[in-house]
DNA sequence: GATGAATGAGAGTTCATTCAT
DNA sequence: CATGAATGAACTCTCATTCAT
């Protein structure tokens, strides 16, 4: 592996470390030294890859976006929209322990970034959430249900809500209970005229 | 007004200012000077009322708790549990512009405090949310519905979820749409055997 | 002396220290710690009086302005414009050893500040020089000479030029030689029709 | 072109870039990356030509020296000392816009370098100025005027002074006014017994 | 109690210089 | 020779907390 490849790998390592540590400690309580340590990179070197702390936050958001895309790509291989949405909910529930400890990575990031006066980064956090919203709406639309956007909104709100409560009450069981309800809800839906 | 009364009034002013500013700027981006300024109290004086910044955060949480109690007390005067829950949802929707700008005060505070290693304050944030959960469950129980706890969980999750998305996407309309759905949902519920 | 008086005295001490150290070491090579040490003030405390390093530079400029004003006030007590201008030149020459080591405080500051992209502070440095220019022009005008502005420009240019060369060549004798020439020049001037 | 020639060409490009950028931004506000970029040379490569930043500053000084030598060589082709000195002043005035923006390259460099504790580089800056002084004195001597050194000092001081004021007040007209005065002064001079 | 001032431990960031290939 | 990457020391600035009156 040549120098350039190793360098870009380091960039990724930093982005991944940022995603992890920022999720656990939050943006404001995480120092660059924390991220550097997690990525095993000297502090001064971080600035070779990211000119500011904000760029690291941005990279972490991109990382979450990438994870989400991986997930939806995998789900897209399932036969029906209902299968895909069920699997989405199941993937959420599978993360319940992480959610109990640190909440939804994107959701909590969005909350923190929205506290800033400068609205640059929080718009990017919003974009990640909107992408999930769009993918979900697409599923409902393909399913042939009316008001697919409303259904998508309901589902994603439910996800963010249960993640927040799971985290705030430190109780993964919340995720299980609400997840099961969502599955029953999905099973109860039927396209018009079906 | 004697000295003690004036002092306790100052304490309240500080707590109220903390609640406001922390909601808007978040815990980590708010300095003691910010709160002191908002309360029109000299910085050095803050420490006679709150020994640490964390105590001010605690006071802000208590303030939110108090607001919530006021609200539920008012709702308790309504005739039926369904009326109360409907009014609760309507109260949420009425706050949509604030939610778009800063999210739910308690929810965003809980998110931020959960990022801390020290789990003292985030437990208190959880307690505020749990109190809302309990009050809501009580309504569903009085209504005679089965699984009142699950219903309560669903409703509060929906609230936190729609607040978060409203804030992240800076779109108060989300609150309106989800609020209307919740009202329809409440209208559709009926106790067993009714 | 009460707290407030002592505090404002500290502000002055800092401004004076800044003027001294910035003159000796230049803006860019002087750290806040240098100034703090010179003023015998803890580094963190500096920011109570000056929010940024630039404000300290500004304060140093004001200090130089004040020194200049003191000088011209003293000169204003002399009977004739020629006396005042002669005394001005003599005051410059008296500073020859300082000039050899560090140049003219205002002139060198202006040079450094003009290298900045942001033109805020260098305008203030220019203002100090312009004030000297104006005072000098006033003398020539009172003297009844034609083109008092041109004469003033010539005199101040000569001052800045000889300060620069004295400093660059580390030779106070330059100041003496040019100073004497300037005195002869002043003596040779006569108002029209005199 | 062989390797050695290409290499020495790169060295020159770097020296020229250094001269330009250091004049514009000053020594302390210029990074090696700035110079490397201006010369279109990779940062890491700079060190094959200049072991330290100071060596680049030195090279910039040499560049200014070379420019000055070019100028005086050209002037030396003029018939009389008076012609040469007049042409020198005219050359200065022709640079008035550059002077307004960045001052005299050598003069401002000397000011900055004199702020250093280490007196190595500022001596070199002084040497460049002294060379100008010497050339000028030679002209006055050839002219047959008494005190040629004093006349040279006066002329060079005037130049540095008017450059500094032009820069500090950002007014090229200063250069024009003082330049005209210097020309009149030169015209008024006559060797003894002439 | 009240208050302006003091303090010091970090935080993010920059950059000359060096290294490995 | 060339070069992207690495390094660490230093700097400016922030802020919770404490102190002296």
* CATH number of the domain within which A8 lies: 1.10.357.10
Q: What is the per-residue pLDDT for B170?
A: 97
The pLDDT profile of chain D, 194 residues, written as one tens digit per residue, is 566 676 688 899 999 999 999 999 999 999 999 999 999 999 999 999 999 999 999 999 999 999 999 999 999 999 999 999 999 999 999 999 999 999 999 999 999 999 998 888 989 999 999 999 999 999 999 999 999 999 999 999 999 999 999 999 999 999 999 999 999 999 999 876 55
* Confidence band for A65, pLDDT divided at 50, 70 and 90: very high
If you count them, how many residues does chain D have?
194
Query: Is residue A118 in a domain?
Result: yes
User: Distance between CA D94 and CA A46 in Å, rounded?
Assistant: 47
Q: What is the per-residue pLDDT for C119?
A: 83
Q: What is the per-residue pLDDT for D10?
A: 87
Higher pLDDT, B3 or A174: A174
Q: What is the per-residue pLDDT for A118?
A: 84
Q: What is the per-residue pLDDT for D117?
A: 85
Query: Is residue B83 in a domain?
Result: yes
Query: Is residue D7 in a domain?
Result: no
What is the distance in angstroms measured between the alpha-carbon CA of C3 and the sugar C1' of F20? 9
Query: Neighbouring chains of C at 3+ CB pairs within 8 Å?
Result: D
The answer to whether residue C1 scores a pLDDT higher than 70 is no
Q: What is the per-residue pLDDT for B193?
A: 54
Query: Is residue D38 in a domain?
Result: no
User: Which tokens is A6 given?
Assistant: 């190793």
Query: Is residue B94 in a domain?
Result: yes
Q: What is the per-residue pLDDT for B8?
A: 80
Q: What is the per-residue pLDDT for B1?
A: 55
* Confidence band for C194, pLDDT divided at 50, 70 and 90: low
Q: What is the per-residue pLDDT for C87?
A: 98
CA of B194: how far to CAs of B79, C75, C129, in Å? 18, 103, 92
User: Which tokens is B9 given?
Assistant: 């009034």
Number of domains in chain D: 1
**Cβ distance of C156 and D157 shorter than 8 Å:** no
What is the distance in angstroms measured between the alpha-carbon CA of C43 and the sugar C1' of E6? 10
Please state the rounded mean pLDDT for residues C151-174. Answer: 98
Q: What is the per-residue pLDDT for C3?
A: 67
Please state the rounded mean pLDDT for residues C167-173. Answer: 98
- Chain C / chain D CB contacts < 8 angstroms: 139
Minimal-distance CA residue of chain D relative to C132: D165
The answer to whether residue C127 scores a pLDDT higher than 70 is yes
Q: What percent of chain C has pLDDT over 70?
A: 96
User: Which tokens is B55 given?
Assistant: 């105590």
The answer to whether residue A71 scores a pLDDT higher than 90 is yes
- What one-character-per-residue DSSP string does chain B give? --HHHHHHHHHHHHHHHHHHHHHHH-STT--HHHHHHHHT--HHHHTTT-SSHHHHHHHHHHHHHHHHHHHHHHHTTSSSHHHHHHHHHHHHHHTHHHHHHH--HHHHHHHHHTTSSS-HHHHHHHHHHHHHHHHHHHHHHHHT-S-HHHHHHHHHHHHHHHHHHHHHTT-HHHHHHHHHHHHHHHHH---TT-
Q: What is the per-residue pLDDT for B3?
A: 67
Mutate to test the interface with D, among C24, C99, C111, C140 (most CBs of D within 10 A): C111
A48-63 per-position pLDDT tens digit: 999 999 999 999 999 9
**Cβ distance of A156 and B160 shorter than 8 Å:** no
Q: What is the per-residue pLDDT for A190?
A: 82
**What is the residue-averaged pLDDT of chain C?**
95
A121-141 per-position pLDDT tens digit: 999 999 999 999 999 999 999
Query: Is residue D30 in a domain?
Result: no
Q: What is the per-residue pLDDT for A91?
A: 98
| Number of CB atoms found within 10 A of residue D32's CB | 17
Query: Is residue D32 in a domain?
Result: no
The answer to whether residue B105 scores a pLDDT higher than 80 is yes
Contact by Cβ (8 Å): C60, C109: yes
DSSP-derived 3-state class of residue D79? coil
- Chain A / chain B CB contacts < 8 angstroms: 139
User: Distance between CA D46 and CA D49 in Å, rounded?
Assistant: 6
Q: Measuring from the CA of residue A46 to each C1' atom, give the nucleotide at the shortest distance.
A: F6
Q: What is the per-residue pLDDT for B166?
A: 98
Region of A193 (left: φ > 0; alpha: ψ -120 to 50; beta: rest) is: left
Mutate to test the interface with B, among A20, A21, A101, A164 (most CBs of B within 10 A): A164
* Confidence band for C6, pLDDT divided at 50, 70 and 90: confident
**Domain boundaries, position D155:** 54-188
Among residues B18, B66, B60, the alpha carbon closest in space to that of B41 is found at B18
User: Distance between CA C175 and CA C90 in Å, rounded?
Assistant: 10
Q: What is the per-residue pLDDT for A2?
A: 67
Query: Is residue A193 in a domain?
Result: no
User: Distance between CA A105 and CA A163 in Å, rounded?
Assistant: 10
The answer to whether residue A150 scores a pLDDT higher than 80 is yes
Please state the rounded mean pLDDT for residues B52-59. Answer: 96
User: Distance between CA B31 and CA B35 in Å, rounded?
Assistant: 7
The answer to whether residue C193 scores a pLDDT higher than 90 is no
The answer to whether residue C85 scores a pLDDT higher than 90 is yes
Helices vs strands, H then E, count in chain C? 10, 0
Please state the rounded mean pLDDT for residues A84-107. Answer: 98
Least confident of A26-35, A45-54, B112-121: B112-121
Higher pLDDT, C17 or B8: C17
**Cβ distance of C168 and D115 shorter than 8 Å:** no
**Cβ distance of B168 and A126 shorter than 8 Å:** yes
């Amino acid at each position: 592996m040549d120098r350039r490849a190793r360098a870009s790998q380091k960039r990724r390592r930093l982005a991944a470390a940022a995603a992890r540590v920022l999720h656990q400690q939050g943006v404001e309580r995480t120092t660059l030294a924390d991220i550097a340590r997690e990525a095993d990179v000297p502090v001064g070197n971080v600035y070779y890859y990211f000119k500011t702390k904000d760029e690291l936050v941005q990279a972490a958001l991109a990382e979450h976006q990438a994870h989400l895309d991986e997930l939806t790509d995998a789900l897209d291989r399932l036969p029906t929209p209902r299968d895909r949405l069920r699997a989405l909910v199941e993937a959420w529930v599978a993360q319940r322990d992480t959610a109990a400890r640190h909440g939804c990575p994107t959701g909590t990031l969005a909350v923190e970034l929205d506290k800033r006066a400068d609205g640059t980064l929080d718009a990017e956090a919003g974009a990640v959430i909107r992408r999930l919203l769009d993918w979900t709406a697409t599923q409902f639309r393909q399913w042939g249900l009316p008001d697919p956007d409303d259904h998508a909104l309901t589902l994603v709100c439910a996800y963010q809500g249960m993640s927040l409560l799971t985290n705030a009450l430190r109780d993964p069981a919340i995720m299980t209970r609400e997840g099961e309800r969502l599955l029953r809800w999905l099973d109860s839906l039927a396209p018009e005229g079906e």
